[in-house]
Structure 1
Amino acid sequence: MELLERLVTVFAENGYLAVFLALLLCGAGVPLPEDITLVAGGVIAGLGYANVHTMFGVGMAGVLVGDSGMFLLGHHFGARILKLRFVARVLTPERYAKVQHKFERYGNRLMFIARFLPGMRTAVFITAGSTHRVSFLRFFLLDGLAALISVPIWVYLGYFGADNHEWLAMWIHRGQHGLWLVGGIALVVALVLWWRHKRRVACESGSR
């Protein structure tokens, strides 16, 4: 909660721009938790320093711009991006190879699930861009759909818990585990749909 209190102070003094810039840093892989950043934005709205609905919009914009920036860096530089110092800190060659393998296995589903995997988002988005097999529009839609689940949860949680820190801390903890659960369920559903599609295609091929 100490980080949350510090962010609330900074955001209350500097407004929406500070929240937006902080979310860009989250997207770039800086060790600043995106969920706590969004909650802090909601808290200052709950304290009367901002409008909560505008804060939701700012949160969505910051998240999507930050994520898109990582995708486009990967798309433009490919594997060469590993030579960039700030990227190498969050995406080692070993981790890049591991994410590439997962991406080849799960494809688009991994881009959606990545939003619910702290510490994995930046690596997944850079790798998605570097494969050149995913259009920016498809990436943006998948990431946007996932953000429409996570962003409002954190922003409005901060808004409603602005005056009750104990309640807020409890629900932040529950929310973090809850989003992992949502991501896991979404992955299972996606795998089932993929398996049914492959089975249908195989049956159609066999009947010809």
Structure 2
Amino acid sequence: MDLLERLITFFAEHGYVAVFMALLLCGAGLPLPEDITLVAGGVIAGLGYVNVHIMVAVTMVGVLAGDAGMFLLGHHFGTHILQWKPISWLMPPRRYAKVQDQFTRYGNRLMFFARFLPGMRTAIYTTAGATHRVSFWRFLLLDGTAALISVPIWVYLGYFGANRREWLGMWIQRGQNSLWLVGVLVVLIVLVLWWRRRKRRYAE
């Protein structure tokens, strides 16, 4: 909760712009949890510093702008982006190859579920752009659909828990655990689909 409190203080002083910029940094893969950032934006709305509905709109734009930026970087620079130090640290060639393989098999589904997989978004979105197999607008539709689910949940959670920090901490923990559960389920679904496809090939 220390990070949450620091973000709340900072966002309360600087408002929407600070939240928007923080989400751009999240999209770039910096070690700043997106869910905590969204909750902090909701908390300052609950404390009366900003309007919660405007905050939801600002955070949606910030999340999509950060994701789109990584997609467009991958699309423009392709595999050359792996030579950039910040990107190579976040996504070494081995990890890139693994994500590319998964994207080739389950592209659209993977882009949608990436929003619920902390630590994987930057790699998946950059790979999606670098493969040139998906148009920007299709990517934005899939990512935006997922964001319409996740972003309002975190912001309104912060809004309603602004004056109940223990309750808020409990639900943040539950929400983060749920995201990991979703991640595990996605991996299991991918493995089952891969196994069924492989079995079908051998049957032929």
User: Could you tell me the TM-score, scaled by structure 1's length?
Assistant: 0.88
Contact kept in structure 2, 1:150 and 1:179, CA below 8 Å = no
Which structure 1 segments of 5+ residues have no match? 199-208
Report the residue type matching 2:108 in the other structure: N
Query: How far did 1:178 drift?
Result: 2.2
**Cα-to-partner distance string for 1:50-70 (whole Å, 9 max, x where unaligned):** 100000001100000000000
Which structure 2 segments of 5+ residues have no match? 198-204
Query: How far did 1:89 drift?
Result: 1.7
User: Could you tell me the TM-score, scaled by structure 2's length?
Assistant: 0.90
Query: How far did 1:176 drift?
Result: 1.2
| Equivalent residue, structure 1, for 2:82 | 82
Distance 1:82 1:118, change over 3 A: same
The 5 Å alignment of 1:150-169 reads 150-169=150-169
| Equivalent residue, structure 2, for 1:34 | 34
Contact kept in structure 2, 1:114 and 1:120, CA below 8 Å = yes
Following TM superposition, where does structure 1 have runs of at least 4 consecutive aligned residues deviating by more than 6 angstroms? 186-193
Query: How far did 1:179 drift?
Result: 3.1
Distance 1:188 1:137 in 2: 28
Q: How high is the sequence identity, in percent, across the aligned residues?
A: 72
The 5 Å alignment of 1:33-112 reads 33-112=33-112
**SS of the residue aligned with 1:12?**
helix
| Equivalent residue, structure 2, for 1:121 | 121
**Cα-to-partner distance string for 1:85-138 (whole Å, 9 max, x where unaligned):** 221121111111110111112111100010011100000000000000000011
- How many residues are aligned here? 199
In angstroms, what is the RMSD of aligned CA positions?
2.3
| Equivalent residue, structure 2, for 1:202 | none
Contact kept in structure 2, 1:109 and 1:187, CA below 8 Å = no
| Equivalent residue, structure 2, for 1:146 | 146
